[in-house]
């Protein structure tokens, strides 16, 4: 089977550890801020995505895992909704990962997500993922106490070991035919603040807001350090990260959909071939149906 390799993009996180989060743009290039054009582009990509998903499903060999990570209010939920809107619901599953349960904490940190990996022919979407274990847990190392780990190395080494576990896990997935593509929706603190304010000011958005979001935003620079290290350590040709400017939603969604569509196109997908024998049998059945 042909091994998947990352598709090119200006937002592809390099594989050599040189990713610099302080240099990424959270806003799109000025010439690409065109709401109408981006929405139209997205609609076309959503259609293409739906067709490609059908072949993926029919072939039943590769599976696709799309991972979304971001700060609060960056637009994970709405991007997933917009990008998947044309796809046959039978062919994909979304899993959202929040604070782990007691049962989950009693297992290694890849256990709960492993249970939700997509079957062959399917698309799995992770809204947050095992990356939380090197992001929120790194910003709040006190969460490790709840994990009942045996004596472990100092924290710096622990995060490095977790990156290695994640790389190994993703390479294993790639070898067995899972195409892993990861999106970091890169929002600015100013845009996040604006979205928080509208969640407070507009009653129908109140439910989306929580005081905890503001508390987490206060750790912005620690989160950015954690994201930078995690993306450097785990963006690889078989499991690439894309850091997508997230301040403009129509642009962001179109870029995400474009990466997904080009990724699927890069796979040697084809409808299963029907043998001459099976075709002859179909023909015989046809004649029977017509004659009856």
State the residues that interact with ligand ATP by CB under 6 A.
Answer: 72, 77, 96-100, 128, 132-133, 136-137, 143, 210
* Phi and psi torsions of 113, nearest 5°: -80, -30
Side-chain half-sphere exposure of 16, counting CA atoms within 13 A:
1
Strand, coil or helix: what is 209?
coil
Q: Between residues 56 and 246, which has the closer beta carbon with respect to ligand ATP?
A: 246
Distance in Å, CB of 121 to Mg ion, minimum: 31
Q: Of 71-79, 157-165, 234-242, 259-267, which part binds Mg ion (CB under 5 A)?
A: 71-79
Tokens representing 204?
A: 């129908």
CA nearest to 124, candidates 132, 116, 115: 116
By a kind-dependent CB cut-off of 5 to 8 A, residue 98 interacts, out of Mg ion, ligand ATP, none, with ligand ATP
169 within 8 A of 110, measured Cβ to Cβ: yes
By a kind-dependent CB cut-off of 5 to 8 A, residue 220 interacts, out of Mg ion, ligand ATP, none, with none
How many whole angstroms separate alpha carbon 259 and alpha carbon 257?
A: 6
Distance in Å, CB of 100 to Mg ion, minimum: 15
Q: Between residues 53 and 192, which has the closer beta carbon with respect to ligand ATP?
A: 192
Q: Of 4-12, 52-60, 67-75, 152-160, which part binds Mg ion (CB under 5 A)?
A: 67-75
C-alpha dihedral sign at 127, 45, 176, 13: negative
Where do contacts with Mg ion occur on this chain (CB under 5 A)?
Answer: 72
């Amino acid at each position: 089977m042909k091994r998947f390799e990352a598709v090119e993009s200006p937002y592809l996180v390099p594989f050599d550890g040189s990713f610099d989060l302080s240099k990424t743009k959270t806003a799109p290039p000025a010439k690409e801020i065109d709401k109408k054009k981006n929405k139209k582009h997205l609609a076309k990509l959503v259609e293409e995505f739906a067709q490609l998903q059908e072949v993926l499903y029919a072939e039943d060999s590769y599976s696709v895992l799309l991972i979304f990570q971001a700060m609060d209010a960056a637009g994970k939920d709405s991007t997933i909704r917009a990008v998947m809107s044309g796809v046959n619901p039978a062919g994909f599953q979304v899993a959202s990962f929040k604070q782990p349960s007691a049962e989950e904490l009693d297992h290694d940190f890849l256990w709960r997500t492993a249970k939700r990996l997509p079957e062959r022919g399917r698309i799995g979407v992770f809204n947050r993922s095992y990356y939380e274990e090197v992001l929120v847990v790194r910003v709040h190392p006190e969460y490790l106490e709840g994990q009942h780990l045996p004596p472990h190395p100092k924290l710096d080494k622990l995060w490095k070991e977790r990156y290695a576990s994640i790389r190994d896990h993703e390479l294993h997935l790639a070898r067995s035919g899972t195409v892993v593509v990861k999106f970091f929706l890169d929002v600015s603190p100013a845009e996040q603040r604006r979205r928080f304010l509208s969640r407070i000011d507009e009653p129908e958005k109140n439910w989306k807001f929580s005081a905890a979001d503001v508390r987490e935003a206060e750790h912005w620079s620690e989160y950015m350090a954690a994201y930078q290290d995690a993306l450097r350590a785990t963006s690889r040709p078989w499991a690439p990260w894309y850091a997508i400017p997230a301040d403009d939603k129509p642009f962001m969604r179109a870029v995400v959909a474009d990466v997904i569509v080009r990724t699927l196109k890069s796979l040697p997908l084809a409808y299963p071939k029907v043998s001459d024998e099976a075709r002859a049998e179909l023909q015989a059945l046809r004649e029977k149906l017509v004659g009856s």
